Structure 1
Amino acid sequence: MITLTGNTLSFTQVNKVLFKNEKVMASAESLKKVEAARQSVERIVREEKVIYGITTGFGKFSDVLIHKDDVEDLQYHLIHSHACGLGEPFPEIVSRSMVLLRANALLKGYSGVRPIIIERLLELVNKKIHPVIPQQGSLGASGDLAPLSHLALVLLGEGEVFYQNKRMPSMEALVKEGISPITLTAKEGLALINGTQAMTAMGVVAYLEAEKLACQSEVIASITMEGLRGIIDAFDEDIHLARGYQEQVDVARRIREYLSDSKLVTRQGEIRVQDAYSLRCIPQVHGATWQTLNYVKEKLEIEMNAATDNPLIFDEGRKVISGGNFHGQPIALAMDFMAIAVAELANISERRIERLVNPQLNDLPAFLSPQPGLQSGAMIMQYAAASLVSENKTLAHPASVDSIPSSANQEDHVSMGTIASRHAYQVITNTRRVLAIEAICGLQAVEYRGIEKMATATRAFFEKAREITPSITADRIFSKDIESVNDWLKR
């Protein structure tokens, strides 16, 4: 059981909740803060103070005063009018992440919701009821309004959910789990949707997959090193210490460890003096990606524990301030950066694939074909990798440099962070398939070289991978192999 405080949620804990179904609970101390903030909201309503989103309308309607008898209707209308999400739903794991992160943010005690709102969110997590949340429709400022409105609908017994591997009306799942829908009161609708949890949830899932993929890319690159009889001297520690980037030093060390007892790698001058950059510069390129991932992780860990709605309540209600913590710029930039960094793993991987299949660049059978000419072998696998790499280049165009005004120019600069996070995730998905293709080609190359000469570490990967994709003894429908290896890497 993981206890949420609003301030201490870590990637390790998120990983357990998302992928190992660890249950969550709210800390008693945090719930006290939540209750104190709630009392402040109710006092504001009673005294009819003019506070944004509690006794006023939203966005451009912030100058419209709302009578205290209408504050519940105000929140109800907010959720319905803002539930404008479009397109395919976020992956179920992202929806789960979104509910978790919204509950954690509300537990900070700055939002003014009743504890029951948080309790209901945690019930959704613990009982694996995941809102169906369309991916498109957020500008990434004023919060992820449209996506989070679809999340909030579930608390009202409306909208749809994923439950027990089925998509169904929310009320059907709530009834099965004995959960009663709630009625929103003052500020609660606004507190649920005025946040960055869609982009952050997508970013968290993307980061966890990118981190794993970056590790896998090093093992796969090591197999390619063996398949091409790469020069191990380029990974000597002194070279990398001389530059000073720790991530570069670490990648070189891991490659040396993977290949420590390989009889297929060579020394400089033995066959060649220098390798092409796609081999020689693995630590420099992969290391730079790790630098970026470390930056992204830092920003996401801050955002996972951030108060991102508006207004925020401080000093037991003596200070209620309208600000802009809902603006997703920090995450938008981080997501764009991650997309670029992971795209580079695909770029350099595709160049290694080319070196594995191009007979002008190696001494292996042309295109790793069992019968060059009669059979095409891996020829079109390289095409597929090139296509994915090119698609990544368009997806890596930064979303964060764009903005468009909304709400009659009241909200005149937005982050597009949710678009950035979705693009980053697609880049990761594409890159995994490129690495799957490199793995298939690398496995075939080392077979020609002699698997008995492989390093212990790479041989272990080879044996497991051969259970997923057999040796190329004849042309076949290679898309099946690529998807099988892709799914294996993702698992």
Structure 2
Amino acid sequence: MVVDGRTLTCTDVELVADHKVTVRVSPDAAHRAEAAWRLVTDLSAEREIYGRTTGVGANRDLTVDEDAGPEHGRRLLRSHAGGTGDLVPARTLRAMLLIRLNQLAAGGSGAHPRLLDTLAQALNTGSVPRIHRTGAIGTGDLTALAETALALSGEVPWLAGGVAPVSLDTSDALAFMSSNAATLAEAVLASLELDRLLRASHVVAALSYVVLGGSAEAYATAVHEARPHPGQVRCAAEMRRLLGMTGEPRPGRRIQDPYGLRAFPQVQGPALDALAYLWEVLGVEINSATENPMVSLSARNVFHHAHFHTAYVAVALDRARATIHHVAELSATRLGDLVEPSFTDLPAFLAVGPPGSSGVMILEYVAHDALAALRQAALPVTLGTAVVSRGVEDHASFATQAARQAVAVGVAYRQVLACELVAAVRALRMRPADLMDLPVRLGFEIADAVLDPGLADRALSGDLAVAGGLLGRLSSV
């Protein structure tokens, strides 16, 4: 993969995070980085530049002694490497290193170009720094990137692997730290997980539709042309495809279905739209020169600004999490319909055995436990703020927390969908003729091949683990 500072995608980030490709820096990007480094070095001799000739934060008005040399930069990194809590997983760290490399390749940091080569080497050798998770509020991942810089310079050990130490002088310290690469890494990987789950949810909902004898009218083309929100239209079209719907809608068992089926496009649609917007935001962020101050080669100048503020990311993540909560609620309602004989014409709780058998009764409890966790993770982080550094930095986006919560939403949503999938497959096993030759049959066959075929009362934990693991495959049915 060629890193050029301009064309990185979320999918690219995941490929590198999963160690599936190697990277190299494009010659043009290396040239831009060197030109920016030379320009800011010259300008630093002529004017004050934040973090290079001055302190940072509330110390912005304090001038650094000219003879301080590299020691100012080292002090800056050491003092900011104050993260705490759990360590960031290696997969997220590889994503972070790639995003930071791509941002530096955009040519706005003024950091020494040797940093680009060293980051590429770290990625290609599987080396990851030891980074603590807690320490950012959406205005720059200062602790995470300070810890990364200390590993690059050889001052602290790597979590895995390692590269030859690279010298970081005064001009490199803030230039390297001035980024939200760790937050963006977590957000990108979470968004891709949510995308897989949303795509899989079409298949799971379609399987439930078959069991419940749903009405095709709710997905009819004419219905959604009358109110053509993009995500809603896309969802209805996908349901028509999976359910083999052509021509006039076929009647279902009821004149109108419960909301879990009937309102699925209207609820799934906003989530699809929210995720599409989130990808737009992340695509801009991972390909932008966001460092403060920013070196502009075209203007031959250095600008002080607020690109470190990630309100766009925080708001987009809040929106995505809120919409997915609504989609997960519909999954839980469909699960409730699947265990109700009046909807399925099957035994209560899909039970097989002596009177009083429980079947999948417990799945509703599991689903609502996961849904409660999802509901908490979906609460907006953008309603709070922070005032730090003696009042100079008086607003925060908390995009970092929004990204963490997006990961939690993905975990909980996967659990909810797994509950519905286990129940739907069980019901279809009890009445297999319902599937006939529908395209969604492939989804059933994938699950049927690996889920325990036993219908007698037993522990379902293993079924849920398998079902949760299948959702990635179902996303491409």
**What TM-score comes out, normalization by structure 2 length?**
0.93
For 2:334 and 2:168, the matched residues in 1 are separated by 56
| Secondary structure in 1 matching 2:260 | helix
Contact 1:55 1:71 in 2 (8 A): no
- Show structure 2 runs of 5+ residues with no match: none
Aligned to 1:10: 9
Q: Deviation per CA, 1:154-184, whole angstroms, max 9, x where unpaired?
A: 2123445454xxxxxxxxx22xxxx311121
- Equivalent residues in 2 for 1:7-156 (5 A)? 7-19=6-18, 21-45=20-44, 47=45, 49-141=47-139, 143-156=140-153
Q: Which amino acid aligns with 1:468?
A: V
Taking a change above 3 Å as real, the CA distance of residues 16 and 231 of structure 1, as seen in their structure-2 partners, is: same
Q: 2:74 is aligned with what amino acid?
A: Y
2:188 equivalent to 1:190 = no
- Aligned twin of 1:322: 304
Contact residue 436 and residue 485 of structure 1 kept, 8 A: yes
Describe the shift of the 1:336–1:452 C-alpha distance in structure 2 as closer, same or farther (beyond 3 A): closer
Percent identity, aligned pairs only? 33
* Corresponding residue for residue 429 of structure 1: 411
CA apart distance, 1:331: 0.5
Match of 1:285 in 2: 267
Taking a change above 3 Å as real, the CA distance of residues 470 and 95 of structure 1, as seen in their structure-2 partners, is: same
Amino acid at match of 2:234: D
Q: Residues 226 and 454 of structure 1 are in contact (CA less than 8 Å); yes or no, is this contact kept in structure 2?
A: no
Amino acid at match of 1:234: A
Q: Secondary structure at the residue paired with 1:57?
A: coil
**AA of the residue aligned to 1:121:** L
Equivalent residue of 2:85, what SS? strand
CA contact (8 A) 1:40 1:317 kept: no
Matched, 1:408 2:390: yes
Instruction: Give the deviation of 1:15 after TM superposition.
Output: 3.7
User: Contact between 1:349 and 1:434, CA under 8 Å: does it hold in 2?
Assistant: yes
- Residues 32-66 of structure 1 show CA distances to partners (whole Å, capped at 9, x for unaligned) of 12111111233345x36321100111111111111
| Contact 2:3 2:23 (C-alpha < 8 Å) held by counterparts | yes
Q: CA deviation at 1:187?
A: 2.3
**What is the CA-CA distance between 1:448 and the residue it aligns to?**
1.8
Q: 1:453 to 1:55 in 2, by over 3 A?
A: closer
Task: Give the Cα–Cα distance (whole angstroms) in 1 for the partners of residues 442 and 106 of structure 2.
Answer: 47
- Once residues 217 and 372 of structure 1 are traced to their aligned partners in structure 2, the CA distance between those partners, rounded to angstroms, is 33
CA separation of 1:244 and 1:79: change in aligned 2, threshold 3 A? same
Q: How do residues 280-359 of structure 1 correspond to structure 2 at under 5 angstroms? A: 280-315=262-297, 318-359=300-341
Alignment-derived partner of residue 250 in structure 2:
267
3-state SS of 1:445 partner: helix
1:168 is aligned to: none
Of 121-130 and 82-91, deviating more is: 82-91
Amino acid paired to 1:32: H
Mapping of 1:157-172 within 5 angstroms? 157-159=154-156, 161-163=158-160
Distance of 1:413 and 1:139 partners within structure 2: 10
| Alpha-carbon separation, structure 2, partners of 1:92 and 1:468 | 30
User: How many residues get paired?
Assistant: 471
For residues 385-426 of structure 1, the C-alpha deviation after alignment (integer angstroms, 9 at most, x for no partner) is: 111111211111111221011111111101100000110111
Give per-residue Cα distances to partners, 1:296-324, cap 9 Å, x unaligned: 11111011111121111124784222111
- Aligned AA for 1:58? V
> 1:20 deviation in Å?
5.9
Contact 2:210/2:434, CA 8 A, preserved across alignment: no
Q: Residues 355-366 of structure 1 correspond to what in structure 2 (within 5 A)?
A: 355-359=337-341, 361-366=343-348
The residue identity in structure 2 corresponding to 1:6 is G
| Residue type at the aligned position of 2:425 | L
Q: Contact conserved, 1:451 with 1:459, CA < 8 A, in 2?
A: no
* CA drift at 1:152: 2.0
Does residue 229 (structure 1) correspond to residue 220 (structure 2)? The answer is no
3-state SS in 1 of match to 2:209: helix
8 Å CA contact 1:42, 1:186 repeated in 2: no
**Counterpart residue identity of residue 333, structure 1:** V
Please list every run of 5 or more consecutive structure 1 residues that lacks an aligned counterpart in the other structure. Answer: 164-172
| Shift in CA distance, 490/157, structure 1 to aligned 2, threshold 3 Å | farther
Q: Report the CA distance shift for 1:130/1:221 in structure 2 as closer, same or farther (over 3 A).
A: same
CA distance in 2, matches of 1:140, 1:86: 16
Distance 1:364 1:6, change over 3 A: same
What secondary structure sits across from 1:313 in the alignment? strand
The CA deviation at 1:278 is 0.7
Contact 2:193 2:410 (C-alpha < 8 Å) held by counterparts: yes
Q: Which position in structure 2 is the counterpart of 1:167?
A: none
Superposition TM-score, scaled by structure 1 size: 0.91
Q: 1:273, 1:61 → 2: CA distance?
A: 69
Structure 1 Cα separation of the partners of residues 51 and 471 of structure 2: 46
Contact 1:365 1:372 in 2 (8 A): no
For 1:157, the aligned partner's letter is G
User: Matches of residues 386-401 of structure 1 in structure 2 within 5 Å?
Assistant: 386-401=368-383
| 1-structure distance, mates of 2:130, 2:437 | 46
Q: In structure 1, what is the equivalent of residue 164 of structure 2?
A: 180
2:458 corresponding residue in structure 1: 476
Residue type matched to 1:238 in 2? A
Q: 1:244 aligns with which of 190, 205, 228?
A: 228
Amino acid at match of 1:43: D
Letter in 1 for 2:233: V
Contact 2:211 2:344 in 1 (8 A): no
CA distance in 2 between partners of 1:316 and 1:129 (Å): 35
